[in-house]
Chains A and B, each alone.
Chain A
Amino acid sequence: MLVALWHFAVDRRWVAAGIIPSPAQVLQSWYIWIFGSSKAMLSPYSGTWVDNVIYSTRRVLQGFGLAALVAIPLGLIIGWSRLAARLIDPTVQLLRPVPITAWLPFAIAVFGIYDASALFLIGLGAFYPIVVNTTHGVRDTNLLLLRAARMLGADTVTILAKVVFPSALPSIFTGLRLGIGVAWTAVIVAEMIAVKSGLGYVLWDAYYVGRMDICVATMFSVGLLGFLSDRVIVWAGRLVLRWRTLEAHA
């Protein structure tokens, strides 16, 4: 429906001609962008889609992976220890409202126009939802399960690994889903300014040279990738949390 509306809006000149491309134009440019020969040089974008998708996806996965690697253990500690919460949590909560875009100049000043800048921004963006949800999940752990583990002889490390962590997993997966969403937002912002490759870079570059068709194709590409990565996490979550679906049916 949206596509039809879009088609007619362009076709009937409801919107300024030449600025907004038609769906057919976008599809065609997208096709060339993906499958075009890079040697033909008819369009500078021809055949570069896969490379740029790989650049962006790699950054997202690296930044997101890094964020998860730091945020999950940190969330476990903050949720578990009142002392750690008092030491770490205020800092996290104070920095959390600072938008990723506001970190851009800082990131470039520290890391330069390199991948590290992008990874920092993506990682930071994904970090907050993961740490907050992990903390929440840990605090929700049933006291009775903790007592059961203790009377069965588990020490604190075992309890964290074998009881608190699995019990917090549903919340952790919520955090991961939110985190991957932020990661895709962050990668576009970072690539627009902090590096010279990837979908975000193409988006900004295409805008500058007036290739709105490529801009729109990029938007769809990012949307699709974001959707797919979210599905992957949901699917992984279902796999890991099979016991929970059993509970829901009981």
Chain B
Amino acid sequence: MKKILYLILICIIIFGCRHKSAETGKQAKQDIPGEPAYGDALITGSIGEPSILIPMLAGDSASHEIAGLIFNGLVKYDTDLSVIGDLAESWDISPDGLVITFHLRKGVKWFDGVEFTADDIMFGYKTIINEKTPTAYQEDYLQVNKAEVPDKYTFRVTYKKPFAPALTSWGALVILPKHLLEGKDITKTDFGRNPTGMGPYKLRTWTSGQSLILESNRDYFQGRPYIDRYIYKIIPDPATMFLELQAGELDLMGLTPIQYTKQTETAYFRENFQKFRYPVFAYTYLGFNLKYPLFEDKRVRQAIAYAIDKKEIVDVVLFGLGKPATGPYVPDTWPYNPDVKTYEYDLQKARDLLREAGWKDTDGDGILDKGGRPFAFTILTNMGNSLRMNTATIIQWKLVKIGIKVDIRVLEWSTFVNEFIDKRRFQAVILGWSIGLDPDQYDIWHSGKTKEKEFNFVSYKNPEVDSLLEKGRRTFNIEERKKAYFKIQEILAEELPYIFLYVPDATPVVHARFKGIKPSPIGISYNLYRWNVPKSLQRHASMEP
């Protein structure tokens, strides 16, 4: 025993400061020119295992990630966030915005060789609105008044009211092969573990708890993908995953801020990996319970905003890998309004506003008070997210400087949501929202969405915002939508139901031998089927069917 311990100790001392250099022999240089070639495999790691590969039934991101490689939608987002055709070649929207007619691409085939037609969309649509289908994505499709299939390559839907997010709802969620599933209960078939799609990759083997192996669809309608195999390894522990990356067993994973800025800044990483960075469609915020008397006064919320240095939070918590947020949209996307009121860090202004609102430190204990009540509140956040916990700590430290006492309470996620958010038993929270690519945020800001389990849990109420939200989702005209969402951001920035804190960056790392990666606002994986490895750099034996 003793010897082993000594051995370990000695090894750690000897090797502790050395980084693995064996890999460099494989000459994975970034700038070796080479023709795109077919072959090789991309190995990626995931903390979670997909549960089911039918998009409309899946709830977790791992399932959607894999299903996204197997199924395509009618439309998709282009790299500049405009909507372009995918399985639909084009579409027409009637002048009143009620009827959308999709014209489908011809000659697209399911993996089993049967042609994809409008009947498959109709079948998927009927399945998703079926009472018996356990799906969470029904809402958008229930707005449809009538769906028709005028011919094999045309699909037409009529809405009750114009509904702007409708167009993009015809993505990959609703397309299922009718010839395989008609008359069957999709929750009872093995389709979810052995799906037939028409996307760039098809599932070859799925070993529970270990890996999923996908192989390229050689008849993919946009051309055969260059990389032959996509291997999805399940590694539940993030630290282990990073070690596997260092050992050369993984080609792609998302890095944490500290891994991105510190642990991968080595010669080994620079030589063997390419790092990417782009904003995630998400933001983190400090939300106030507006029903709570302390936060009823707008000036109080503004004072808190002045006392928080967003830049500092980004620098300290995210190691600079993010941007301060000014509203609920990602900077540099079309709904984002760059000219809203911002609150530059200014403690004096914060103090002035609080004094105006009647808060003074009368008893000299360093904490402001009014009517005998000290200014103290609790920020709740969820366990397991160290970024949010660190953010809360920084805010706590800043607010005490202007005489506000803050407590932080960290709760397990389910408890947090069920017992505190849903029951409105909170004063302030630090949480985040993922933002859909469509700017509609009706559910978060509309005053009609404040019931239990609904998402305007801060109880924000503003008739002007309500009508702008309504306007924004009822027109397809981008300029008009833009106007509505710009105005909403101005109002939100003035009234501050949330203090928008930051938009974090996604920081994936990919092995250097992969070429053809074009970073864009929607990430890097949108053109996975174009990624390739020059023949001389290929690492895994090519696979002939």
On whether the two chains bind one another, the answer is no
